[in-house]
């Protein structure tokens, strides 16, 4: 199966390794010819996954027409802020029979649309699916055990893609709840920033456990209001991804949260990391979406206040802890 991956960062490369390990011909579409040449000559993507060797049937190309001609499966693994423009730029090149798989986690600002909804708008005649879960590329590329969920309205399509990526160290599950899968993957980014801030402020294990627990409650409440199913948020793309991104050293959002606690701005932290932390733009888009439907999201509001209203973290924490009392299930 000819597979093209739009996005040559760590996650796109890791997904390419998984697919190639199952015998598929994989092309990693890069933005620059020099990057493609370096990947092909060194058999590694040292910028994003240093020390990881690439299989021979995974190649890089900076030529979109060549990379997409004949593609049967196209993965979109790009920052959500550029997702729509990227999809539109390749509209005329992607074969009509190709399946489109979104592997990005976020909600579009202004429209509140999920990434699969953007793909359906741009490519109305294509089958669209999503992949999400507690998936740090650095571990998966090295063969450490992990799981993910693949969502599609068509169960047969989900099962077909399940086999595309499953290996003896990467277990895949299927679901028809595309909305729930995408919403979990997007909303948890905000809480990962909060976890990084709490860790940086040395608030302790009790605070972090409470934060993760209340984050799951808020994510589920908001996700259901936006069309997801409750059981999905108890799964890999919900609580699973929440745990990984809140506490892992690999989490960009957690690292940005640590930087915020140390006095850096989000922009300074992302520049130092050299990678996008989706929680930063997602906080704004999710906050706006929450307000548009009248949802109660105190944790999202708190992170928004720190990032976009320049409120001190300690002040925001005090406001969270002194809100009106409520039943836990509310």
- Residue 236 CA to residue 243 CA, distance in Å, equals 10
Query: Is residue 137 marked as binding?
Result: yes
Query: Is residue 22 marked as binding?
Result: no
Strand ranges for the chain from DSSP E: 2-6, 25-29, 58-61, 73-76, 99-102, 128-132, 146-151, 170-175
- Residue 66 CA to residue 48 CA, distance in Å, equals 24
Residues annotated as catalytic are 188
Beta carbons of 219 and 234 less than 8 angstroms apart: no
CA 211-148-136 angle, 5° bins: 65
Query: Is residue 9 marked as binding?
Result: yes
Query: Is residue 278 marked as binding?
Result: yes
- Residue 146 CA to residue 169 CA, distance in Å, equals 6
Beta carbons of 107 and 285 less than 8 angstroms apart: yes
The distance between the two most distant Cα atoms of the chain, rounded to a whole number of Å, is 61
Residue 31, φ and ψ in degrees, nearest 5: -85, -30
Query: Is residue 241 marked as binding?
Result: yes
Query: Is residue 251 marked as binding?
Result: yes
Query: Is residue 276 marked as binding?
Result: yes
- Residue 248 CA to residue 200 CA, distance in Å, equals 14
Query: Is residue 248 marked as binding?
Result: no
Beta carbons of 5 and 61 less than 8 angstroms apart: no
Q: b/e map of 221-231 (b: 16 or more CB within 10 Å)? A: bbbbbbebbee
Query: Is residue 31 marked as binding?
Result: yes
Query: Is residue 252 marked as binding?
Result: yes
Cβ-count burial of 102 within 10 angstroms (0-12 exposed, 13-18 middle, 19+ buried)? Answer: buried
Query: Is residue 12 marked as binding?
Result: yes
Query: Is residue 10 marked as binding?
Result: yes
User: Residue 293 CA to chain centroid, in angstroms?
Assistant: 23
Beta carbons of 18 and 28 less than 8 angstroms apart: no
| Annotated binding-site positions for NAD(+) | 7-12, 137, 252
| Annotated binding-site positions for NADPH | 10-11, 31, 48, 105, 137, 252, 276, 278
| Annotated binding-site positions for sn-glycerol 3-phosphate | 105, 133, 188, 241, 251-253
| Annotated binding-site positions for substrate | 105, 252-253
| Annotated binding-site positions | 7-12, 31, 48, 105, 133, 137, 188, 241, 251-253, 276, 278
């Amino acid at each position: 199966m000819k597979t093209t991956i739009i996005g040559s960062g760590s996650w796109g490369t890791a997904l390419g390794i998984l697919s190639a390990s199952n015998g598929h011909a994989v092309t990693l579409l890069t933005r620059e010819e020099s990057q493609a040449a370096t990947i092909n000559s060194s058999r590694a993507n040292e910028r994003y996954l240093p020390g990881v060797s690439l299989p021979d049937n995974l190649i890089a190309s900076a030529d979109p027409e060549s990379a997409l001609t004949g593609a049967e499966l196209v993965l979109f693994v790009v920052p959500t802020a550029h997702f729509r423009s990227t999809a539109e730029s390749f509209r005329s090149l992607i074969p009509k029979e190709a399946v489109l798989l979104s592997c990005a986690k976020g909600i579009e600002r202004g429209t509140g649309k999920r990434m699969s909804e953007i793909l359906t708008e741009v490519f109305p005649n294509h089958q669209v699916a999503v992949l999400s879960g507690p998936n740090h590329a650095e571990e998966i590329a090295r063969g450490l055990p992990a799981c993910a969920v693949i969502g599609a309205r068509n169960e047969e399509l989900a099962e077909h893609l399940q086999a595309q990526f499953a290996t003896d160290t990467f277990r895949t599950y299927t679901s028809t709840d595309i909305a729930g899968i995408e919403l979990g993957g997007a909303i948890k980014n905000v809480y990962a920033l909060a976890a990084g801030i709490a860790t940086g402020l040395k608030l302790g294990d009790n605070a972090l456990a409470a934060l993760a627990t209340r984050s799951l409650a808020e994510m589920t409440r908001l996700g259901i209001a936006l069309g997801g199913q409750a059981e999905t948020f108890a799964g890999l793309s919900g609580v699973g991804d929440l745990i990984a991104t809140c506490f892992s050293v690999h989490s960009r959002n957690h690292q940005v949260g640590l930087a915020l606690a140390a006095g850096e701005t989000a922009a300074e932290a992302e520049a130092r990391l050299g990678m996008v932390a989706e929680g930063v733009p997602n906080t704004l888009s999710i906050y706006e979406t929450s307000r548009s439907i009248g949802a109660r999201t105190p944790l999202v509001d708190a992170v928004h206040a720190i990032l976009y209203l320049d409120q001190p973290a300690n002040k925001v924490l005090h406001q969270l802890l002194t809100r009106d009392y409520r039943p836990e299930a509310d």
